[in-house]
Amino acid sequence: MIQALMKQQPVSVPAEPLLQVRDLSLLYGPEKGCQGVSFDLYPGEVLGIVGESGSGKSTLLSLLSGRLPPQAGNIGYRGKDGEWLDLYSASEAERRTLLRTEWGFVEQNPRDGLRMGVSAGANIGERLMAQGVRNYEQLRGAGIDWLGQVEIDPQRIDDLPRTFSGGMQQRLQIARNLVSSPRLVFMDEPTGGLDVSVQARLLDLLRGLVRELDLAVVIVTHDLAVARLLADRLMVMRRSRVVETGLTDQILDDPQHPYSQLLVSSVLQP
């Protein structure tokens, strides 16, 4: 149990990044949005984006995940085939396909990420169907398997998500995203709306899955405990800019930028 709680370091550093972000900007007004953001994300790496409310975290995540076009800058993604794709030169259809296959997006509010009118099993099967799986037994099998992986009783496979608790809905949303074996998952405050005890359990589950599946993750959170538990590296945002970036432990234990120091000290903690 204690070992499971210890962060595992990647054994080797992969030579090529998965995502290359250069000078990305989208501003709604002065210092509203994000500007000049650059970084590389490597396979299996978890990047946390932290910062106060309104600092531009969600805006950045929307740009990274291809949901909003930037005003400037670009994003390169190295696909499963090893080819680089310039995200915003690609067609809308290509971006949508990525989001349904090699990428995932976990919304803060599970109601935004689930189809509430169809069963839990159908929610899980959807991405597989989008990839061409038509076999009923196979879809059902994946549904049962993934419900188990996210600790939901597989007997609930035919139930509607609205009959689930908030924590279960969030776990179902995670299953729905992970079933297609994505390589990169975006998450915006995935534990935001949940009770503290439910949060802790979800975090544990997420952490296990991320390591087990060697997922690259970009996770937005204003909760530094979440960042500490999940992220290898952090980017600290303030007023649309990244003010500091580095290894999670370094930033949380020895922040360099005055704003990071303020953020890490109890001052801004709820």
Ligand X SMILES: Nc1ncnc2c1ncn2[C@@H]1O[C@H](COP(=O)(O)OP(=O)(O)OP(=O)(O)O)[C@@H](O)[C@H]1O
Alpha-carbon distances of 267 from 23, 52, 259, 260, 263, rounded to whole Å: 31, 12, 11, 11, 7
With 0-12 / 13-18 / 19 or more C-beta atoms within 10 angstroms meaning exposed / middle / buried, residue 231 is buried
Question: Which tokens belong to 210?
Answer: 């991320």
Asked if 56 touches ligand X (CB under 6 A), the answer is: yes
> How many residues belong to the site for Mg ion (CB under 5 A)?
1
Q: Does 58 engage in binding with ligand X (CB under 6 A)?
A: yes
Q: Tell me which DSSP letter residue 139 carries.
A: H
Look-up of token digits 């087990």? 212
Minimum distance from residue 190 beta carbon to ligand X (Å): 13
Binding mask 53-82 for Mg ion (x = CB under 5 A): -----x------------------------
35 binds ligand X (CB under 6 A): no
Q: Name the strands in the sheet holding 19-29, side by side, starting at the edge strand that comes first in the sequence.
A: 32-41, 19-29, 72-78, 84-86
Q: Which structure tokens are listed for 148?
A: 């188990």
Does 59 bind ligand X (CB under 6 A)? Our answer is: yes
Kindly state the smallest distance separating residue 261's Cβ from Mg ion, in Å.
22
The answer to whether residues 123 and 168 touch, using CB atoms and an 8 Å cutoff, is no
Nearest CB to ligand X, comparing residues 178 and 194: 194
Judged by beta carbon, residue 59 or residue 173, the one nearer ligand X is: 59
Asked if residue 221 binds ligand X (CB under 6 A), the reply is no
Give the residue with the Cβ less far from Mg ion, 120 or 194. 194
Which residues would be at the binding site for ligand X (CB under 6 A)? 28, 32-33, 51, 53-59, 222
